[in-house]
Amino acid sequence: MAKYAYPAIFTPEEDGGYSIIFPDLEGCYTCGDSLEDGIEMAEDVLALVLYGYETDNRTIPAPSAPASLPISGNDIAL
């Protein structure tokens, strides 16, 4: 089984939650009620989206360097 690591952008929301997007992967986004919950949700969505790429025989793109991500405001790159 292949191992993957992709950077994600965590955007804090007014309610204390986070919106999370993986810019390198189409349709790979989620949210969490806290940073800890967001990290767990991000792991789940990343696994599901990559599984979909593999199942559909789609080319899995190379991950971007975290420093190259479009970060703004209070965003966090992980």
Kindly list the domain boundaries of the chain, sorted by start residue: 9-77
pTM for this structure?
0.91
Specify the pLDDT at position 1.
Answer: 59
Strand order in 76-77's β-sheet? 29-32, 18-21, 9-12, 76-77
Q: Which CATH number fits domain 9-77: 3.40.50.1220, 3.40.50.300, 3.30.160.250, 3.40.1410.10?
A: 3.30.160.250
**60 with 53: CB under 8 angstroms?**
yes
Mean pLDDT by 10 residues, the chain (78 residues): 88 97 97 97 97 96 90 92
Specify the pLDDT at position 67.
Answer: 86
